A = this chain, B = another copy of it.
Amino acid sequence: MANIHDVAQHAGVSIATISRMLSGENIRNRAAVERAISELGYRPNASARGLRLGRHHTIAVIVPDISNPYFAALVRGIEERAMAKGFRIIVASSDEKFTAESDVLGGLIDAVDAVAIVPAEASERTRRMLTELGKPVVLIDRTVGENPEFDLVHVDNAGGARMAAEYLLSLGHRRIGVISGRQETLPGQVRHTEFLDVLSAAGVEVKQEDTKIGEFTRAFGHQAACELMDTSSGITAVFVGNNTMAQGALLAFHAAGVSIPGDLSFLCFDDFDLAELLPAPVTVISRPAIAEGHAAADLLLARIDGADAGKPQEFRHMVLPVKLTIRKSCSEPPIH
């Protein structure tokens, strides 16, 4: 581990000269220094530089669960942009727990320049914790507290829910079930209410017993589907709020021998691998996870530059489009 002193000695100059060359200044015998650097395999020490500069070329990325394909793709998007600008990322999973986020960020914050987070809670304490970090923050997919002073990236949840509702309506469905995620989250809440609003405007009300709200998990999706089959025999279509719940629900319907779309039309948010290969290739509202990652990283990188340049910036909200991918899991309701 050669350090700057070794290089200086090797090249017969002072350490200041090395440092200057590394930061792009012109020096007299650049050739000798370059040779010394490559001969010794010198790499500036990141900790020393971070300590001195207060900048670490590192972004903290906190997601609920890195092993969820959607979040993995999101992280990939952030990583691509960050790497391109010479930044690296520290990744942590929160398991949807505020305390995990808080602990991780507490121990991390003075080693990173910015934070990209899919927050577990929309709570006030989350907003406060993030504000107190004193570093650029971008919220992804979900908001937090009231008027958060952060950049924000999410997809057009309302538009997606609207397309879903209109599509189901256009096929003739009038008795529809809904499986939605936690209403304390932005996507959980917006997708749910917007979907119901569109139906309602068309004179279609979703019954209490046809509405299931819970965690964004495969387990809850499964449970909700089972409950729907138990208690409400009348629905002809179901709308599910995300991919993990959708997988659970699909498994439950399949196990119970419910034919899709013969007995039940199925529509959900988020695409997934192999969707085309299912017996009834599933129709989805898909969103661009990688692009969301790109947008989030761009926002952060811009703000880091801005902080350097001393120019304050407005907080920006980026809303990315979703699209309705029609496959074969929805049809007209069965005739009675």
- Residues of A with Cβ closer than 8 Å to B? 1, 41, 43, 45-48, 50-51, 56, 58, 65-69, 72-73, 75-76, 79, 83, 86, 88-93, 104, 106-111, 132, 134, 247, 250-251, 254, 272-274, 276-279, 290
Contact = CB atoms under 8 A, between A and B. Distances in A.
Contacts of A83: 92, 104
Contacts of A67: 69, 72-73, 75-76, 290
A111 B47 contact: yes
Given A46-B107, A274-B278, A277-B279, 17 more contacts: A43-B106, A46-B111, A47-B47, A47-B56, A67-B73, A68-B72, A69-B69, A75-B91, A79-B91, A88-B104, A91-B91, A250-B274, A250-B277, A251-B276, A251-B277, A273-B273, A278-B279
A92 B79 CA distance: 7
Contact of A273 (B41, B93, B272): B272
B247 A273 contact: yes
A50 to B, nearest CB: 4
A51 B47 contact: yes
A41, A46, A107 — most chain B CB neighbours (10 Å): A46
A145 to B, nearest CB: 19
A76 B86 CA distance: 24
A49 B109 CA distance: 14
A69 B66 contact: no
Contacts of A1: 110, 134
A65, A104, A272, A274 — most chain B CB neighbours (10 Å): A274
17 contacts: A1-B110, A46-B107, A47-B48, A65-B76, A66-B79, A67-B69, A67-B76, A67-B290, A69-B72, A75-B91, A76-B93, A88-B108, A89-B91, A90-B90, A90-B91, A273-B273, A277-B279
